[in-house]
Amino acid sequence: MPYDDTGIILKQLGKVFATSRGPVTALTDINIAIGAGEFFSIVGPSGCGKTTLLRILAGLDTASAGKVKIMIPASDQPVNSMVFQEQSVFPWLSVADNVAYGLKLRGVAKKERYAIADKYIRMIGLSKFAGSYPHQLSGGMKQRVSVARAFANNPEILLMDEPFGALDEQNRILLQQELLKIWELNKKTTVFITHSIDEALCLSDRILIMTAHPGTVKSIVKIDLPRPRDIAQIRTTLRYNELFQNIWLTLREEVLKGKALELADN
């Protein structure tokens, strides 16, 4: 593994939900090792448990079986920050206050936290909007603020649940490139959920393909595209197209299985 150390270990992880129709297995026998500083993406059919897995990593839910081990150096930094598909900026705070919010909660001095916030606001191209409020921003701009806030808080692990899924294609590409730019500087361990093979390819070091419900590991694909990456350029390469085709063929099988299961349940 071409990383400094292992950042996250999942061993025989499982999750069962109690429902009115009886227990439902969402995840089963998940075994993964994610490297420190790795950009690790997860794709899979709808309903395969991708978000459930991320919530367990975030500590927002608990596993029913197996172990989660987060291996981080001793520090006063937060363990993780999470970015959701839904815009999660605070409407009563300005852009600068939103980006600095996590730092304020940690007791970082005002001058320092706004200096850090300003750094990331500049990186996402919103310097002119630092004093603006969310209702004055577009959807893409609000997501930029969410990404900047996550990085400004300097977590050991960044968890992202389809953060660009609700954006139009143009804004999505812009934000993907900005995310890569920031990630290249910080090399934070990142776990990224997406429905887009293209997005996963452009961003990731490796991609986990999950099976249809109940979700488990179908395969893990190493993305041997060179870094730093220019998204427009990388899509034109033969290797990108080879990887896309291989991942789609593997994923397609699970998508069809998932649809068959949906029909059987109805």
Closest CA to 100 of 117, 76, 80: 117
Residue 216: the pLDDT is 96
Indicate the burial class of 250 (C-beta count within 10 angstroms; 0-12, 13-18, 19 or more). Answer: middle
In the prediction, which pLDDT does 245 show? 98
Alpha helix segments (H runs only) across 47-186 = 50-58, 95-105, 110-123, 139-152, 169-186
Tell me which residue has tokens 């389809």: 162
Query: What is the sign, positive or negative, of the torsion defined by CA atoms of 266, 195, 144, 81?
Result: positive
Percent of the chain with pLDDT over 70: 93
Write phi, then psi, for 238 (nearest 5 degrees): -60, -40
Between 115 and 171, name the one with better pLDDT: 115
15-54 pLDDT, tens digit per residue, is: 999 998 899 999 999 999 999 999 999 999 998 999 999 9
How many Å apart are CA 218 and CA 227, to the nearest integer? Answer: 26
Question: What is the overall mean pLDDT for the chain?
Answer: 90
Q: What is the mean pLDDT of residues 250-263?
A: 87
Q: Is the pLDDT assigned to residue 76 strictly greater than 90?
A: no
Q: What percent of the chain has pLDDT over 90?
A: 65
pLDDT at 131: 96
pLDDT tier at 4 (50, 70, 90 boundaries)? Answer: low
Question: Model's pTM, two decimal places?
Answer: 0.89
The burial class, CB within 10 Å (0-12 / 13-18 / 19+), for 91 is exposed
Amino acid 184: pLDDT = 92
Q: What domains appear along the chain, each with residue ranges and CATH number?
A: 6-79+157-265 (3.40.50.300), 84-154 (no CATH)
Q: What is the DSSP letter of 62?
A: -
Tell me: the pLDDT tens digits for 194-250?
Answer: 999 999 999 999 999 999 989 999 999 999 999 999 999 999 999 999 999 999 999
